[in-house]
Copies of this chain bind each other. A is one copy, B any other.
Amino acid sequence: MTNHSRQNKLLVAVDCIIFGFDGQELKLLLIKRGFEPEKGRWSLMGGFVQPKESFEDAATRVLKQLTGLEDVYMEQLYAFSNPDRDPTDRIASIAYFSLIDINKYQQQLSDEFHAEWFQLAKTPSLIFDHRDMIDMAREKLQYKAAIHPILFELLPDKFTLPQLQSLYEGVYDAVLDKRNFSRKVLSTGLLVKQKEKEKETSKKGAFYFKLDKKKYQKKFNAFLNFIPNPHNLK
């Protein structure tokens, strides 16, 4: 227990599950591996953890490498550690998932990795346990987005209610009633109506909204609707 022996050391990688939303569909950014093993197959973007780097640092670095983005929403998903998950080497992988504004994503960087956005339902066959990672990420996203307003991280600064609703519908694979939906999201007080309309997708046009960043920060945890009644809390 005390011998920090060399033989107990492991290779540790990070893998990034990157979600984006194009206004219609929830999407996932995958790369085509340009190196062995499994060269030519699709996978999540990943990389090895360096000696002086935390897992978060590594995931941030890897994400930036692929997308050019920093300061985006990222959350540790799970540590995958089956000794046989990579058939060639024993490599543990810490999976992170990110929510990015797909418009800020810098295409040119991705060319290097042959990256492509995939609809969730249409992802290709993936290496190792990356499919499990994605399934778990999706589940966690559903779980968390039901409680915290994280889906705004996928949207541009200005967005319309119909867009927001499509996003929720995509995440939950559900059809929602637009009257109830708009009442619910507006009742949070998190949205600020703009004067301009988005007029690409309809003749009438839909008003833009912006997120009230201050309230967003403040309400991020308050969004919880299941803890016992606040005034019973000691």
**Contact check: which of B53, B90, B147, B234 meets A51 at CB < 8 Å?**
B90
**Contact check: which of B83, B225, B227 meets A142 at CB < 8 Å?**
B227
Q: A117 contacts the other chain (Cβ, under 8 Å)?
A: no
Name the residue on B nearest A37 (C-beta). B2
The answer to whether A176 touches B8, judged by C-beta atoms less than 8 angstroms apart, is no
9-residue interface stretch from A20-28, A74-82, A188-196: A74-82
The residues in A between 63 and 122 inclusive whose CB is less than 8 angstroms from any CB of B are 76, 78-79, 81-83, 89-92, 94
A226 to B224 CA separation, bound complex (whole angstroms): 10
A226 to B227 CA separation, bound complex (whole angstroms): 13
Q: A9 contacts the other chain (Cβ, under 8 Å)?
A: yes
**Contact check: which of B53, B76, B146 meets A78 at CB < 8 Å?**
B76
The complex is assembled from copies of this chain, and their number is 2
A174 to B9 CA separation, bound complex (whole angstroms): 44
The answer to whether B173 touches A233, judged by C-beta atoms less than 8 angstroms apart, is yes
Q: A156 contacts the other chain (Cβ, under 8 Å)?
A: no
The prevalent SS among residues of A at the interface is loop
Indicate the size class of the contact surface on chain A. 35 or more
The answer to whether B9 touches A173, judged by C-beta atoms less than 8 angstroms apart, is no
Known: A12-B10, A56-B81. A89 touches B4 (CB 8 A): yes
A234 to B79 CA separation, bound complex (whole angstroms): 31
The answer to whether A83 touches B52, judged by C-beta atoms less than 8 angstroms apart, is yes
Name the residue on B nearest A78 (C-beta). B76
The answer to whether B55 touches A1, judged by C-beta atoms less than 8 angstroms apart, is no
9-residue interface stretch from A42-50, A198-206, A208-216: A42-50
A76 to B228 CA separation, bound complex (whole angstroms): 25
Known: A55-B92, A92-B55. A35 touches B76 (CB 8 A): no
The answer to whether B81 touches A227, judged by C-beta atoms less than 8 angstroms apart, is no
A1 to B66 CA separation, bound complex (whole angstroms): 14
- List B contacts of A176 (CB < 8 A): 228, 232
Q: A207 contacts the other chain (Cβ, under 8 Å)?
A: no
- Nearest CB in chain B: distance from A146 CB, A: 4
Measured CB to CB, the residues of A under 8 A from B are 1-2, 4, 7-12, 35-36, 47-56, 76, 78-79, 81-83, 89-92, 94, 142, 146-147, 168, 172-176, 225-228, 232-234
